[in-house]
Structure 1
Amino acid sequence: MKHKVLLVLIFLLAVFAEAQEKNLVDGVFETIQKMEDNHNKIKALLTQAEIKKDTDIRNALRYGKAALALSERLSHKPGIIGSLETIAELNSRLGNHDSSLLQYNQALIVARSLGDSLKVGILLFNIGSTYRTKGELQTAIEYCLQAKKRIEASGDRSWMAKMYNGLQLLYYYLPDYNKAIQFGKEAVFSAREIHDQDLLIKALSNLSMPYKDRQELDTSRQLLLESYTLARQTNDLHAQSAILLNLAGVFLEEKNYQAVKQYANQSLQLNKSLETQEGVCTSLRAMAISHLQTKEYDSAKYYAEAAISIADANNYTYEKASCLKTLSNIYYAMGNVDAGENYYNLSDDMFEQLFREENQASAARYEKLFEAEKKDNQILLQQANIRYKSVWNAILAVGIATILIISFLVYRNYYNRQKLQQRRITELETEKQLAATEAVLKGEEQERTRLAKDLHDGLGGMLSGIKYSLHTMKGNLIMTAENAQAFERSIDMLDSSIAEMRRVAHNMMPEALVKFGLDTALKDFCNDINQTGALNVTYQSIGLNDVPIEQTKSVTVYRIVQELLNNTIKHASATNALVQLTYDNSQLTITVEDDGKGFETAILKGSKGIGWINIQNRIEFLKGKWDVDSHPGKGTSVNIVIDN
Structure 2
Amino acid sequence: MKNKLKAIYWLQFICLLIVFHFATAQNVPQQNTATLPQLHDTAAINTMMQKGYSIREQNTDSSILLYTHTLNSSKLAGYNYGIGNSYLGLARAHSILNKDQEAIAYSYQALTYCTDTSNTNKELRFNIYHCMAQVYYYLGKFDSCAWYRYQALHIVELNPDLSIQVQMRAYGSILQFWMNVHNDIQHDRYIQSLWEHLNAIEKKAMAIGDSTLLVSIYFQKEAYYENIRLRDSSRYYCQLTCEMGRRLHVTPSIVIASLMNTAISLLQDKQPDKALEYVNEGLKEMPLQNKANNRYYVFAHFVLGEVYLQQKKYQAAVNALVPALKTAAAVHMIAYTDYAHKTLAQTYDALKDYKNAGEHWRLHAEILDSMQKDKKMELVYNVEMRYRIADKEREIAQKELSITRNKSRLRTQQFWIGGILCGTLLVLLVSLLLYRNSKHKHKLQTEKIRNLKQELQISSLQAMIAGEEKERSRIARELHDGLGGTLATIRTRLSYVFRKLTTSGESGHDLTEILQLLEEASVELRKTAHNLMPEILLREGLAKASLLFCERVRKGHMLEINTEIWGEVRRLPKDFELTAYRIIQELIHNTLKHARATQALVQIVFHESLLCITVEDNGTGITENNRQGEGMGLRTIEDRVKSLNGQMDIASSPGKGTSIYIELNIITTRQNILE
Task: Using structure 2 for the length normalisation, give the TM-score.
Answer: 0.46
Query: Highest relative contact order (Cα 8 Å, sep 6+), 1 or 2?
Result: 2
Larger Rg: 2
Q: Which has the higher helix share?
A: 1
Task: Using structure 1 for the length normalisation, give the TM-score.
Answer: 0.48
